[in-house]
Structure formats: C-alpha cells, structure tokens
Amino acid sequence: MPSPTGLIDLRSDTVTHPTPEMREAMYRAEVGDDVYGEDPTVNRLEEIAAAKVGKEAAVYVTSGTMGNIVSLLSQTTRGQEIICEAGAHIFVNEVANLAMFGGCQIRALMGHYGAMDPDEVETAIRTENVHYPRTALIAHENTNNAAGGTILPLDYLAKIKGIAERHGLKVHMDGARLFNAAAGLDVEAREITKHADSVQCCLSKGLCAPIGGFVAGTKEFAKEARRYRKALGGGLRQAGIVAAAGIVALEKMTLRLGEDHANAKRLAAGLAEIPGISVDLGAVQTNIIRLSTVEGHLTAPELAAKLKGKGILIGPQNARAIRMVTHYYVSAADVDKTLAATREAMAAGAK
C-alpha cells in the first residue's frame, strides 16, 4: 500500500493507519454500551478473537500494555513472582505496572532469540520456603520484539507448558505480534496459544487497527480480566466504533503478514551486504530487523538523520543499534529505495 504519510516509515508497525475498509467499517459499526455488554460489534470481535486463539472467551482492551496487565493481575496475587525472559516487554517497557498495581515482582532470565532455557525456568520456580515469594506464572513473548521478531518454537512452548503444569503455574503469552508468529510458522494462531492459559494480542500494530487489542482465556479468566480492565479505566462505551476496525484486522489483515515477512527478509539480506552494517539474518524471522552499524562507520543516529532527509524513517536504539519494521505501508519498492539510500549514506559516511 502507498504510505499515507508519503514517508517510508520503518520505525515500527504501530505507525500503520487504518485502511479504507476499516474506516468504512467504523462508519457503519453498530454500537451499544460495552460496559453493559451491549455493544454488538465489540461482542462480535470478542467471539472472533476467542475462536482464533482457541479460548473460551476474549475481552477487548485498549492497548497491549492493558492486555498484559489485566492478564497478569487476573492470575496473580500480591507478593508473588512471575518468570519471563530478560528482554520481555512486560519487564522492560511496561512501567513496572505489575509491581505498581499487582504487588508482584518479576524474575527475568536471559534468553536465546527470546526463548528461556527450560531447565533454568524449572530451577527458577520457587520452592515452599518462609523466605521466598511464590511463583505464580511464566510469561512468553511471541514474537519476541527485543530479539528481533523471533518466533518461539512450538516444541519449546509445549515444554514450558509441561513444566508449568507440573508446578501448578499459569502461562501467559504476550502475543502483541501473535499473528506474525502464526504466519511465520504457517499454522493457525490456536496451535501456538494452546500452550498458554492466557494470551494478549495487539490489533494496532501490523494489523492496522487504530486502537486496541484483546486478551483471551477461560470464561473465568475473562470475567476477572473484565473487572481489572474496568478498574484501570478501560471500561468503554460505544467501543464498537474502534472494534469494527479490529474485526477487519483479525479477519483480513492477519492473512497478509507473509508479505511483510518477505519484505523484511529481503531488506535484511540487502542490508547485510552493505559495508559497515551488521545483521544477524537468523533472527529475521518475521517483520522486524535488528541491525547495527560497526565502528569506523556512521553511528545509528547519523544514519537515521541521513535517511530522514530522503523521507525514510528508521529507529535508532542507541549509538549503534537500529530497529526496522516492515508493515502494510512498506512495499517491495520501498525496500529497494531504502537499500539504495542506505548504501549511499554508508558509503559517503565511511570514516
């Protein structure tokens, strides 16, 4: 799709605008008061979402962060601990909200492409001891953003679920980009989420909805999540206006993510050939590319400034690291333009 801003915006897949079909669906959406459970469009979105992830019930939420926190609050009590990978969004990027609102702490384990070592996970589960918190839950992030959009293997997920069951723990999946994982593995999303008790999914990233996401699990989980959503100010009224776009995201936009993955792979392969740029191609499994510029060449902010002058936006993370993300508004031609501009900038900037 031609970019709605005229820029090639590779900073994130959150920059995606709603599609014309979404705007039409929003205009026509039937609505009601969702706090009374009377918004037919929200109810339909929740049914479609629950079916896609193979769970009894889903709850529409305002954002991925809200989805994660209501899922965690619903499955923990104060003084408990949860286990997740050290780069996880819930650990790094969610304002310590589980400590803030839930009185729990996070035990973060180093991962490999987003996957923890199952033996280390099992060892980290607390035994009963007067000194220790109790472990409540193990959290996954799939795809894993910090590791570069990597997909957690299904046998790994099965192994962690087995460990959790043996110890009476719940498993949560931060599936902000769950449908990218499903497209990357070429399986239905429920084949992934069957290894988790609860799942959070964003509809406002590569799926192009303007706002919102959902959480899903058992009926009992959904009831709790709805209470916490209300407590956090997420009880919305005629939310069908935005949920209508979410339905298009779920039914249509999930089917085309393979294009973004193909573009990301081609972009990454081209970048890897440019002198002064280093990319771990093995980590480029979906729509995210993490690259770095090497010593003696432009820094990440310098490259970002040069590309910005050509209408290309990228996300420098620090002096050397850069994230690029493909999405609906990044075309194959945009990949070519980005490669040409990067090649030129790096050649001109070699020190």
Q: Which residues bind ligand PLP (CB under 6 A)?
A: 63-65, 68, 89, 141, 145, 174, 176, 202, 204
Half-sphere exposure of 178 (CA within 13 A, CB side): 32
3-state SS class at 260: helix
Of the pair 114, 270, the CB lying nearest ligand PLP is at 114
Does residue 38 contact residue 343 with C-beta atoms inside 8 Å? no
State which residue has the least CB distance to ligand PLP. 64
Of the pair 89, 306, the CB lying nearest ligand PLP is at 89
- Taking the C-alpha atoms of residue 47 and residue 31, their distance in angstroms, rounded to an integer, is 16
DSSP character string of 154-202? HHHHHHHHHHHHHTT-EEEEE-TTHHHHHHHHTS-HHHHHTT-SEEEEE
Of the pair 77, 93, the CB lying nearest ligand PLP is at 93
Taken in order 19, 24, 27, 28, is the CA torsion positive or negative? negative
Of the pair 69, 169, the CB lying nearest ligand PLP is at 69
CB of 67 to ligand PLP, least distance (A): 7
CB of 273 to ligand PLP, least distance (A): 28
DSSP classification of residue 343 = H
CB of 129 to ligand PLP, least distance (A): 32
Of the pair 89, 320, the CB lying nearest ligand PLP is at 89
CB of 343 to ligand PLP, least distance (A): 29
- Taking the C-alpha atoms of residue 60 and residue 58, their distance in angstroms, rounded to an integer, is 7
CB of 178 to ligand PLP, least distance (A): 10
